[in-house]
Structure 1
Amino acid sequence: MEGIVAQVKSLAQGVDGATHNSILQSLRELYLSLETRQDTMQRISYAHLEPILVKIGLDLNLFNILAESETPLTIGQLCDRTSAASDLLVGAVKETGEDTFMANNITKHLSDSLAPALLALPEFLAQTKYQDITSPVNTPLQKAFNTDLPGFLWAQTQPDVFRYFNQFMMAQHADMPHWLDSYPIEQRSQGLEPEQTLFVDIGGGIGHQCMALRERLPTVKNKVILQDLDVVVAQAIKHEGVEAMAYDFWQPQPIKGGRFYYMRNIMHDYPEEKAVIILKNVISALGTDSVILIDDMVLPGSGVHFHATQIDITMMSVLASHERTITQWYALIEKAGLKIKQIYTYNTRYDSVLECVPAE
């Protein structure tokens, strides 16, 4: 058995993303095929414990403590640093000896979750007779957190949740290929007018994509503008080459005639009628050489990887939205009055840049 494990680990070393995902999928299918009835019942019955224990670890700052330590820590040391009883110190960590633990690769990448909304999904669907979730103010999130606010507005009332969300948006693509590696940004940036804005990052969070663009195009001095709600841009990372602007994308776009209007993981947050409104507010600002770049998942029509379906269910549960297939994307873009020039898929999770211009 140890030889088989070693062989699989060796096979997974240094492979590309597609091969890595293929190995994981094969191992998952192998595991499920070997389960006994008792194994299956155990896995399903206790699946909810993992996010709950992760939440406890986050509340105790346990993962950061372990990740920052160069040596394993005893249970006594962890108790001293967390003020928690030893029986509660559980989570995704590596046991190196009796009552001694250290960080593993999972520990170093954990972030907070929306587990309560997902746990409320079964009861919510039963109450709604298993109909589509179409209203952003009537989802399992409202039930779980006892609120009438849509997901993003509710998050803004929860400082810790909002901070975790911004951190998650920063970390979710860590160690993954970047959209700038696939989209021909250098070529598309040619011929700018002196006063023309280069890049407008709509709903861009705290500015990571703007900074990445600046690093990719260091000699292009045209403006790079980060746009988000005032409460978000107040937390923006300071960068001398990035201008932060408070903007609500439900209003007409104030920056006219820019070259690139970029939206990362915005469209998947909203059902079609809301997404169309957002897009039309951008269209009103386009110049003759402007393009809209939509950075989102573009799913195939079949055989979708389970990582994507997990995110799809989460979008449904908290925002009444979903990830879109390529057919659904073409329908949405056409409905907004645009056309897709080209789709650039840049990783195995189906993350893609849809390059869009006004329909002729």
Structure 2
Amino acid sequence: MTKATPNTNGDSGHSAGCSTDLLHLLNAFENTSIDSEIERSQLISAATTFLARLQSPWETIRRHLVDSPAVQLSLKVCMDLELFQKWKDAGNGDKTAAELAQLTGCDEELLQRFLRHLAVEHLLAEVAPGTYAQTEFTFAMCTPHFGAWPQYMHETVLDTWKAMPKVLADRGYKNDSLTVIDGAFQVATHTTGQSIFDYFASHPGQAKTFNNAMTGYGAERCSWLDIFPSTNLLENVVEGPLLVDVGGNIGHDVEKFRKRHPDKASRLVLQDLPAVVGDAICGDQVQVMPHNFFEPQPVRHARAYYLHSVLHDWPDANALQILENLKPAMKHGYSKLLLNEIVVLDRISTSSPQVTSFDLAMMGLCAAQERTELMWRTLLGRAGFKVIKIWTSEAAVESIIEAEIV
């Protein structure tokens, strides 16, 4: 319960009325009333700020340190039971805990304890005591790309974060004490000498989970074409490759470009490791090319080389290698470098928590980081590039950094 603040204006009735009005407004609110992605983003930010002001210290501790980890646990168990998919296959109707237990082969009392927590967190709908309905969220868990997240967090990220405090303490709390092959992830997995990507190469199951999780993340983000005007690439363009998506996973971003400019499909290139591009989803005319970005770029004089969340996986030394492998292929005064990345704001409290949580994930998993604008300009300058413009949108956490060869 929040502590009442004395009202020096003697207007307690008005305060109570405002609180009642606010409760009615919140309870009546529907997602369908949001007009735009920008408005939705602003509402989430305002609601998060409001909740932080409203909660007591204990409620804040409980929300972050008890409730959220319990959600992770509950989701992992439900995903292991294939609960949401089996429920969907059975017709999606309202079901009791007993019916869901029979569907999954789980003890009813045990399952009920996880269902209750998901219901109290409004991830699962409670239509009557002990009876539940699926939600948009649980339907999303039935897709490989969203359903991979509980597994990815459980088997990769959480163990890394658990190891980090001791690793940092043992190494004197130095920001550069973690390396690509000797960091918190390596301590957690006993794989010193291997990068996380080396690890994935020898653990195909976890690699598939990671790729699915990253695909889900990429598919739901604000399109890069809503941040950067793709028509800019069509101005003064000459024959030859138009856009090379370097390290583009299975092709979500290049496919968005193809759909926006279908007549340019044959001039688009998707690059990633062979095991990744084998599952490419882009149109038939797009050239799918196995390529390791630590090797020289084989496609020369393209109008643009686009990298989405590639450099944030690597510390500066490795990021420089990637950029230096691109530079010789680029045509001075013509080719663009487009980096779709988070740019950490100086006033961080105005950012999404995704910015800082991803930064801590990159620290543990890759000895890498999310970078500030100054960091990006410095890194690109060292590689022989100059920043032309940083494109942003209120609807997007990430930005597009447009750069050219000096």
TM-score normalised by length of structure 2:
0.80
Shift of 1:351: 0.9
Match of 1:271 among 315, 323, 341: 315
For 1:85 and 1:251, the matched residues in 2 are separated by 53
1:4 aligns with 2:22: yes
Q: 2:281: which partner in 1?
A: 237
CA gap 1:339/1:65 in 2 versus in 1, 3 angstroms: farther
* In 2: Cα distance, 1:67 partner to 1:117 partner: 33
Q: Secondary structure at the match of 1:342?
A: strand
Amino acid corresponding to residue 77 of structure 1 in structure 2: E
- Does residue 325 of the first structure (1) align with residue 372 of the second (2)? yes
| Contact kept? 1:200, 1:226, Cα under 8 Å | yes
Structure 2 residue corresponding to 1:82, chosen from 92, 100, 104 = 104
Q: Is 1:208 paired with 2:257?
A: no
Which residue in 2 is equivalent to 1:256? 300
Bigger Rg, which one:
2
Q: 1:282 aligns with which of 298, 302, 326?
A: 326
* In 1: Cα distance, 2:312 partner to 2:138 partner: 28
- TM-superposed CA distance for 1:354, in Å, is 1.0
Corresponding position of 1:146: 190
Q: Structure 1 residues 26 and 192, CA, compared in 2 at 3 Å: closer, same or farther?
A: closer
* 1:42/1:299 CA distance change after superposition, 3 Å: closer
Q: State the AA in 1 paired with 2:25.
A: Q
**Structure 1 residue ranges without an equivalent (≥5):** none
In structure 2, how many angstroms separate the alpha carbons of the residues matched to 1:2 and 1:170?
42
Scaled by the length of structure 1, the TM-score of the pair is: 0.89
Relative to 1, partners in 2 of residues 1:163 and 1:354: Cα closer, same or farther, differing over 3 Å? same
Query: CA-to-partner distance for each residue in 1:68-118, whole Å, 9 max, x for gaps?
Result: 653222223322332222313624422222222222243244423222222
Q: Residue 361 of structure 2 aligns with which residue?
A: 314
Offset, 1:269: 0.7
Q: Which residue of 1 aligns with 2:3?
A: none
Secondary structure at 1:106 match in 2: helix
**Identical-residue share of aligned pairs (%):** 25
Distance in 1 between residues matched to 2:231 and 2:49, nearest whole Å: 42
* Distance in 1 between residues matched to 2:132 and 2:218, nearest whole Å: 28
Aligned to 1:20: 40
In the alignment, residue 88 of structure 1 is paired with which amino acid? L
Pair 1:16–1:253, CA change in 2 (3 A) = same
Cα RMSD of the aligned pairs, angstroms, is 2.5
Find the counterpart in structure 2 of residue 127 from structure 1: 170
Indicate if the aligned counterparts of 1:66 and 1:102 stay in contact, CA closer than 8 A. Answer: no
Indicate the residue corresponding to 2:53 in structure 1.
33
Q: Is the 8 A contact 1:298 1:352 kept in 2?
A: yes
| 1:208 shift after superposition | 1.2
Unaligned runs of 5+ in 2: 1-18, 141-145
- Distance, in Å, in 2 between the alignment partners of 1:28 and 1:78 is 33
**Would the alpha carbon gap of residues 227 and 97 (structure 1) be closer, same or farther in structure 2, given more than 3 Å must change?**
same
